[in-house]
Amino acid sequence: MTFQGPAVSVWQDGSCRIEQLKVAKGLFERGIGLMFRRNVPAACGAGFLFPRCRDLHSFGMRFPLDVVWLDDKGAILQIRRSIPPGKVIRGPKTARHVFEVKAGTLPDLSESPLEFRVS
């Protein structure tokens, strides 16, 4: 699975679950994500999607994160909620992509695959 466009919306079972995730591109954006922000700015949508990434960190974060790991087809492998700042967050070995949102904003996602659309 590849992610086209500057942002994607997340769909599941025909319903839009997350209106916008900014696709992190380039070394700076991939390294910074939501660090140092007091809140998630509108330009970032709900948060960041990191293609071809399995591990994250929450150093420099000012709020906890909800994190979702995906396989190469967009199926959910693992969800972790309310990860506090200052942690190294390792995903499953089979994970190919991961996205982060501010804790408490992640909708209830079931085990069915997610669909990503350019938003």
| 78 occurs within a structural domain | yes
Residue 31 is part of which domain span? 7-118
Is residue 30 exposed (0-12), middle (13-18) or buried (19+ Cβ within 10 Å)? middle
Within-domain flag for 23: yes
How does pLDDT run across 61-80, given as a tens digit for each residue?
888 999 999 999 888 999 99
pLDDT tens per residue across span 1-52: 788 789 999 998 898 989 889 898 876 677 666 665 667 655 456 888 999 9
Question: Domain total for the chain?
Answer: 1
Q: Which of 119, 74, 112 minimizes the C-alpha distance to 96?
A: 74
- Beta strands 97-102; 47-51: pairing state: antiparallel
CATH of the domain at 107: 2.60.120.1140
What does the longest C-alpha to C-alpha distance in the chain come to?
A: 36
Asked, for residue 114, whether it belongs to a domain, the answer is: yes
